[in-house]
Amino acid sequence: MADDVSQSAAPPQAYYDEIKAKFAEARDLRLGYRPHGTAQYTSDFTGALAKYASDPHAEPAPERAPIADEVEVLFIGGGFSALLTAARLRERGVESIRIVERGADVGGTWYWNRYPGAACDVPSYDYLPLLDEMGYVPSRLYAKGPEIYAHCQAIAKRYDLYELAVFRTTVTRTAWDRAAKLWVLETDRGDKMRAKFVICANGTLSKPKLSKIAGMESFAGYSFHTSRWDYAYTGRELENLADKVVGIIGTGASAVQAIPRLGKAAKQLYVFQRTPSGIDIRGDRPTDPEWAARLEPGWQQARRMKHIRGRPEDLARAAELAKISREEKIRRQENANIDHMMRIHQRIDEIVQDPETANALKPWYMFMCKRPCFDDDYLPTYNLPNVKLVDTKGKGITEIGPEGPLFEGKSYPLDLLIYATGFEVQKTGIYNEIRGRDGREINEVYADGIRTLFGVHTHGFPNLFIMGGYQASFQFNLTFMLQTQGDHIAECIKLARERGAAEIDVKPETEAWWVQEVIAHRGKTSRNADCTPGYYNFEGEFNRRQDGNYNGGFFQYYTHMHEIRDDLASHFLFG
């Protein structure tokens, strides 16, 4: 939320109401163009679309014999979730740990997303996991992709996670063997691995998606998705683009980081925009070595906790807000959010020279309807003579011919077309069919609504832990949420080991409590319905109240988790 909710020297309410009416108009325009919600996208990369899933960072996988062994803990996915949880398991003496990963190395998001300009958008000192444990201080406020990827590899080395890891392998089926009390995992390489504990660590945004655009298969030029950047085509420094006409579809967080670099390198760049992102100041800077040298052990956790507990002035303000009515609270927060968005508009006017382009870049929606972006080079890019914004005003590109995208009867011939169209969001069982104790698939179990404890445990799926799924508290610094889940999972596994239990399964009544907790905190405002469509509100689709994230706030999520942990044994069944 934007910060200042005090009412001193505020413009009249009519000013805010007028802007809110414009937000509603922009949302309706966009929804009118997009009746299909999430169905407008596809992640089925087969046939002509198969090339969009292939890995440009590694040679084709060499043949290997199928694996049919048993480990104690198996991670599906080798990104941050697996790495930070595995570290906690090692601290608790777990030796047999395997990562099974689709990519050719660990790193997850940071393995796949190597587009130019990739960097974290949350200060590195909060975002990169295990900094204390690794004795590492990132080189800058916003570490760049290669540094984060190297940190992932360093964690895997430090905790011996390469030893049993299996790369270029996708888990396709995970089924509970009742007799053996083990999970049996099948993969696309013919494996049949067994594991006592399975942790779904496949990430929140791991499967790229493409907008379903008529004729996209007919495009005769070169094309790829941002998460599969092909440096063999562009050149390591994008030097091969000097004589190329490049187009990029989408202006979300990935595109906002890539576009400034493309603008500098390409002969001509067309940006095909459907909805603009809100671009805030980044203010990146190198780490002050004197500050780094003064950091005390435990500094990262202390820093993260300080953020979630809130600053003293935030607490004082919250206490003041508690005294006013709910409607008034919402009104003040909305007005503060509008002030923030108008500051974003003002910056565009100050930076972008062409007034038509500047207007087209202005986001007309409430702060946090879409993921805020931060890049100091993005807006100036539109002042370059070789960069052209093609604003589709909410309609999007709906047709692509052999030469390139078409919009309003005009064709845009391109050498290279880049899809910055995002990812499937928080799908449990991505690429994978998960069958529990009674043989039912997890998404069948969720058919009447998602049921979990903390988004991590579902009754009937013993020894299975889900990270980054729904019913958890999604927060801007995702890695802190993942670390909280990872610490909890490691404690659960430790407890099961200590008790000599073959199974640990959440009690139905504890799960029911959490589902009610999730429902109680959803639908407090009409915010989701008021927002312009995007992945934060399921592209404007209706959603059952429990089929989303826990909205009670991360501090509350964290606190609940610790309360349950204080008496872990009474919330689980052991077999």
Count of residues near ligand NDP by CB under 6 A = 28
- For ligand NDP, the closer of residues 110 and 159 by Cβ is 110
Q: How far apart are CA 265 and CA 231, in angstroms?
A: 13
Angle, CA of 260, 206 and 33, to the nearest 5°: 70
Structure tokens given for 466:
């889900």
Minimum CB separation from ligand NDP for residue 334, in Å? 21
* Choice from 23, 159, 272, 364 touching ligand NDP (CB under 6 A): 272
Minimum CB separation from ligand NDP for residue 54, in Å? 18
CB atoms within 10 A of CB 125: 20
Angle, CA of 73, 74 and 80, to the nearest 5°: 105
Q: How far apart are CA 378 and CA 172, in angstroms?
A: 39
DSSP state of 309: H
Binding pattern for the stretch 435-474 against ligand NDP, x by CB under 6 A and - elsewhere: ----------------------------------------
Minimum CB separation from ligand NDP for residue 427, in Å? 14
Angle, CA of 469, 475 and 478, to the nearest 5°: 70
- For ligand NDP, the closer of residues 29 and 519 by Cβ is 29
Minimum CB separation from ligand NDP for residue 389, in Å? 12
Minimum CB separation from ligand NDP for residue 421, in Å? 4
Q: Are 562 and 454 contacting, i.e. CB atoms less than 8 angstroms apart?
A: no
Q: How many CA atoms lie within 13 A of 460 on its CB side?
A: 16
Among residue numbers 93 through 122, which ones bind ligand NDP (CB under 6 A)?
Answer: 119-121
Minimum CB separation from ligand NDP for residue 206, in Å? 10
- For ligand NDP, the closer of residues 254 and 485 by Cβ is 254
Contact segment (CB under 6 A) with ligand NDP among 98-106, 166-174, 253-261, 293-301 equals: 253-261
Tell me: does residue 251 bind ligand NDP (CB under 6 A). Answer: yes
Angle, CA of 508, 570 and 445, to the nearest 5°: 20
Minimum CB separation from ligand NDP for residue 125, in Å? 15
Tell me: does residue 216 bind ligand NDP (CB under 6 A). Answer: no
CB atoms within 10 A of CB 54: 12
Binding pattern for the stretch 180-209 against ligand NDP, x by CB under 6 A and - elsewhere: -------------------------x----
Residues 6+ apart with CB under 8 A from 299: 131, 132
Residues 6+ apart with CB under 8 A from 108: 77, 78, 79, 80, 81, 82, 101, 152, 203, 206
Tell me: does residue 262 bind ligand NDP (CB under 6 A). Answer: no
* Choice from 129, 247, 252, 540 touching ligand NDP (CB under 6 A): 252
Can you give the binding site for ligand NDP, defined by CB under 6 A? 119-121, 205, 211, 213, 226, 249-255, 257, 272, 274-275, 371, 392, 396-397, 420-423, 534-535
